[in-house]
Chain A
């Protein structure tokens, strides 16, 4: 277990991309809101952890605009939305080791991301330079949805997962989001309505794909001891882990070409370490905010993090187990599919609300929450709990 705690959360309004403000302004608003939430002056923030591919704001731009004093710790995470909990792992290590008192992690997402973010990824640069992308492009492969669709088709073949089971997942996400004032997709979609929509890239439909969004979230981490003197009830970081998968090609357009099973990946390696570090089992988890750039990644997480057997996520979802009164309520904010796509950071913010008892879809007596990152080449996950 770590001795670190989340002491403040902040976010902007989420929009469909119509927010005219720059990524820097969105990031700053979320960070200021997180400091206010914690009850600390903004200038007490002395550590920043950002995604390398977040083009919204640099360390020096944030420092200048927020009027920060000396920064004593700064770091960046690779990968993308897979590393949402890696930022929290780094923040926890930084405050425990005394390199920072208040470390903030954030993600500001704007339309700039789709072009500029990729240029910050050396794997993308390599793939473009040597012509790796061409071996996919000449076959009409050009969207990341296809990468997960190919894995999902194989999952259906191996385990008998059905379209209606994907629909159950969408019905669940939109049942939650219908009750969430921040959500972009506020209307509940039934399984039948889902099945009436066309495929985009089979087996994925439009409803299986994240909501294109603008917005930002920020999360401030400090030590458990310091947390107890602040405004909010501390949310303890029981454990945060990162990990890569075995034998995964180095670029997302190539992931489905890896040898062996392609129906899961890095989360299978991370889960046992995470539970061991936190000293708990999947049965102890009360609520799970599972990264859902595509519906299928929720299925991967349910299986990897031990809520159902390997391959069994479809029937598990269909039986109502991820609803608010189910075995493990999942994505109580609506997730990327129905709230907004802030690259895994809105999942962290929602998990903190669940532990504080302030979610719009509050799970009764929630004491332990799981947050996961996107399952690509590498991923991350985190367990949060009430102060103990």
Chain B
């Protein structure tokens, strides 16, 4: 986790953060057609229903793409947090379909590859909020 920023828990995201607190990765699901979506939004793009709920998904997936932030150049907009540079931001494709962000610390960068397997962990962000992150499960 990279920042000490405390997420505001908006009603649209409540189930997501609550799941993290309970150690469960929750994705928004349409109550009518069962399509899952991330991030949450009011209407289902598949059937336009506004009935929505949360479903726990397996916290496993693969690295779809990543970018390493070095702190060089116009780095003011980057958010290194307490762990500093370099760090990677990655897109994780969950085995259940949706894609989410993760980050990886300097020590992990050598083994970070597209296609690498990952699983979710839940980390303290601060302010009593727990957030999801992913770790490499087969770093060989």
Residues of chain A touching chain B, judged by Cβ–Cβ distance below 8 Å, are 129-132, 134-146, 149-154, 157, 198-206, 209, 212, 247, 249-250, 254, 256-259, 262
CB distance from A194 to the nearest CB of B (A): 13
Within the assembled complex, what's the spacing in Å between the Cα atoms of A145 and B69? 10
B139 is an interface residue with CB less than 8 A from chain A: no
Check A206–B5 contact: CB distance below 8 A.
Answer: no
Check B79–A141 contact: CB distance below 8 A.
Answer: yes
Within the assembled complex, what's the spacing in Å between the Cα atoms of A180 and B107? 45
CB distance from B37 to the nearest CB of A (A): 9
Within the assembled complex, what's the spacing in Å between the Cα atoms of A203 and B114? 14
Given contacts A131-B7, A139-B1, contact A201 B125 (CB under 8 A): no
Check A200–B79 contact: CB distance below 8 A.
Answer: no
CB distance from B89 to the nearest CB of A (A): 5
Taking a contact as CB atoms closer than 8 A, the residue among A135, A142, A198, A257 that contacts B70 in the complex is A198
Check B68–A202 contact: CB distance below 8 A.
Answer: yes
Taking a contact as CB atoms closer than 8 A, the residue among A131, A141, A198, A259 that contacts B101 in the complex is A141
Taking a contact as CB atoms closer than 8 A, the residue among B8, B67, B98 that contacts A201 in the complex is B67
B2 is an interface residue with CB less than 8 A from chain A: yes
Check A247–B67 contact: CB distance below 8 A.
Answer: no
Taking a contact as CB atoms closer than 8 A, the residue among A137, A142, A202, A250 that contacts B67 in the complex is A202
Closest A residue, CB atoms, query B123: A138
Residues of chain B touching chain A, judged by Cβ–Cβ distance below 8 Å, are 1-3, 5, 7-10, 12-13, 16, 38-39, 41, 45, 64-70, 72-75, 77-81, 87, 89, 91, 97-103, 114, 125, 131, 133
- Secondary structure of the A side of the interface? mixed
Check A140–B103 contact: CB distance below 8 A.
Answer: yes
Check A140–B65 contact: CB distance below 8 A.
Answer: no
Closest B residue, CB atoms, query A254: B39
Closest A residue, CB atoms, query B38: A257
Check B103–A139 contact: CB distance below 8 A.
Answer: yes
Closest B residue, CB atoms, query A126: B41
| Chain A residues within 8 Å of B125, by CB | 138
Given contacts A135-B100, A157-B114, contact A141 B72 (CB under 8 A): no
Taking a contact as CB atoms closer than 8 A, the residue among A139, A142, A200, A205 that contacts B102 in the complex is A139
Check B2–A140 contact: CB distance below 8 A.
Answer: yes
| Chain A residues within 8 Å of B70, by CB | 198-202
| Chain B residues within 8 Å of A209, by CB | 73-74
Using A138-B1, A139-B1, A200-B73 as known contacts, list a sample of 4 further A-B pairs with CB atoms less than 8 Å apart, ordered by residue number in A. A130-B13, A143-B78, A200-B70, A203-B67
| Chain B residues within 8 Å of A136, by CB | 101
Check A135–B101 contact: CB distance below 8 A.
Answer: yes
Within the assembled complex, what's the spacing in Å between the Cα atoms of A327 and B66? 33
Check A140–B39 contact: CB distance below 8 A.
Answer: no
Closest A residue, CB atoms, query B4: A138
Check B89–A131 contact: CB distance below 8 A.
Answer: no
Closest B residue, CB atoms, query A206: B73
Instruction: Show 22 residue pairs from A and B whose CB-CB distance is below 8 angstroms, ordered by the A residue.
Output: A130-B13, A131-B9, A135-B16, A137-B3, A137-B79, A138-B3, A138-B7, A139-B101, A139-B102, A140-B3, A140-B79, A140-B81, A140-B103, A141-B101, A142-B79, A146-B78, A153-B67, A199-B72, A200-B75, A212-B74, A256-B65, A257-B39
Given contacts A134-B5, A157-B65, A209-B74, contact A140 B91 (CB under 8 A): no
CB distance from B66 to the nearest CB of A (A): 6
Given contacts A199-B72, A254-B39, contact A138 B131 (CB under 8 A): yes
Check B67–A146 contact: CB distance below 8 A.
Answer: yes
Taking a contact as CB atoms closer than 8 A, the residue among A138, A153, A201, A258 that contacts B114 in the complex is A153
Given contacts A134-B5, A135-B101, contact A141 B73 (CB under 8 A): no
CB distance from B140 to the nearest CB of A (A): 19
Within the assembled complex, what's the spacing in Å between the Cα atoms of A264 and B78? 24
Within the assembled complex, what's the spacing in Å between the Cα atoms of A202 and B85? 13
Check A150–B72 contact: CB distance below 8 A.
Answer: no
Closest B residue, CB atoms, query A147: B67
| Chain A residues within 8 Å of B45, by CB | 247
| Chain A residues within 8 Å of B103, by CB | 139-141
Within the assembled complex, what's the spacing in Å between the Cα atoms of A205 and B80? 18
Check A257–B75 contact: CB distance below 8 A.
Answer: no
CB distance from B105 to the nearest CB of A (A): 10
Within the assembled complex, what's the spacing in Å between the Cα atoms of A117 and B119? 38
Check A154–B77 contact: CB distance below 8 A.
Answer: no
CB distance from A202 to the nearest CB of B (A): 4
Given contacts A137-B3, A140-B80, contact A257 B101 (CB under 8 A): yes
Check B10–A139 contact: CB distance below 8 A.
Answer: no
Check A205–B73 contact: CB distance below 8 A.
Answer: yes
